[in-house]
Amino acid sequence: MRTHGKATGAWARDVAHFGHWAPRYERSLLQRVFLTPIQTATIAEIGREVSQPQAILDIGCGTGVLLRHLAGSYPLARLVGVDAAAGMIRQAQAAVPNGLSLSFAEARAEQLPFADGTFDLVVSTMSFHHWADQQLGLHEVRRVLGAEGCFVLTDVVVDPWLSWAFAASGDRIVTARRLEAMLAAASLRRKRSASAPGFGLRHGRMITVARPGHLGVTAQ
Ligand SMILES: C[S@@+](CC[C@H](N)C(=O)[O-])C[C@H]1O[C@@H](n2cnc3c(N)ncnc32)[C@H](O)[C@@H]1O
Tens digit of each residue's pLDDT (9 = 90 or more) over 90-144: 999 999 998 888 999 999 999 999 999 999 999 999 999 999 999 999 999 999 9
Nearest CA to ligand 1 atom 19: 131
Measured CA to CA, the distance from residue 53 to residue 119 in angstroms comes to 8
State CA 80 to chain mean position distance. Answer: 12
Q: Where are the beta strands (DSSP E) in the chain?
A: 55-59, 78-83, 102-106, 119-125, 145-154, 157-158, 174-175, 188-198, 201-214, 217-218
- Determine the pLDDT at residue 204: 75
Measured CA to CA, the distance from residue 131 to residue 179 in angstroms comes to 13
Is 1 part of any domain? Answer: no
Is 70 part of any domain? Answer: yes
Nearest CA to ligand 1 atom 15: 130
Is 201 part of any domain? Answer: yes
Is 3 part of any domain? Answer: no
Is 176 part of any domain? Answer: yes
Secondary structure element (H or E) that encloses residue 185, with its range: helix 176-185
Between the CA of 217 and the centroid of ligand 1 the distance, in Å, is 30
Whether residue 154 has its Cβ less than 6 Å from ligand 1:
no
State CA 197 to chain mean position distance. Answer: 17
State CA 155 to chain mean position distance. Answer: 8
Q: Residue 101 is part of a domain; what is its CATH number?
A: 3.40.50.150
Region 70-87 average pLDDT: 96
Between the CA of 155 and the centroid of ligand 1 the distance, in Å, is 11
Between the CA of 83 and the centroid of ligand 1 the distance, in Å, is 6
Question: By percentage, how much of the chain surpasses pLDDT 90?
Answer: 73
Nearest CA to ligand 1 atom 13: 60
Confidence of residue 164 (pLDDT cuts 50, 70, 90): low
Measured CA to CA, the distance from residue 26 to residue 36 in angstroms comes to 9
- Determine the pLDDT at residue 37: 92
Measured CA to CA, the distance from residue 209 to residue 43 in angstroms comes to 12
Domain count of the chain?
1
Is 191 part of any domain? Answer: yes
> Which residues pair with residue 190 across a beta bridge?
210
CA dihedral 130, 136, 138, 141 (to 10 degrees): -110
Query: Which of 149, 69, 86 shows the shortest CA–CA distance to 114?
Result: 149
Between the CA of 124 and the centroid of ligand 1 the distance, in Å, is 8
Question: By percentage, how much of the chain surpasses pLDDT 70?
Answer: 88
Ligand 1, pocket-test mutation among 127, 135, 136, most atoms within 8 A of CB: 127
Pair 87, 63: CB distance under 8 Å: no
Nearest CA to ligand 1 atom 4: 62
Is 2 part of any domain? Answer: no
Burial 97-117 (b: 16+ CB within 10 A, else e): eeeeebebeebbbbebebeeb
Is 45 part of any domain? Answer: yes
The domain of 104 spans: 8-218
- Determine the pLDDT at residue 197: 84
**Would you say residue 21 has pLDDT above 90?**
yes
Q: Report, in this order, helix, strand and coil percent for the chain, each rounded to 5.
A: 40, 30, 30
Region 11-29 average pLDDT: 93
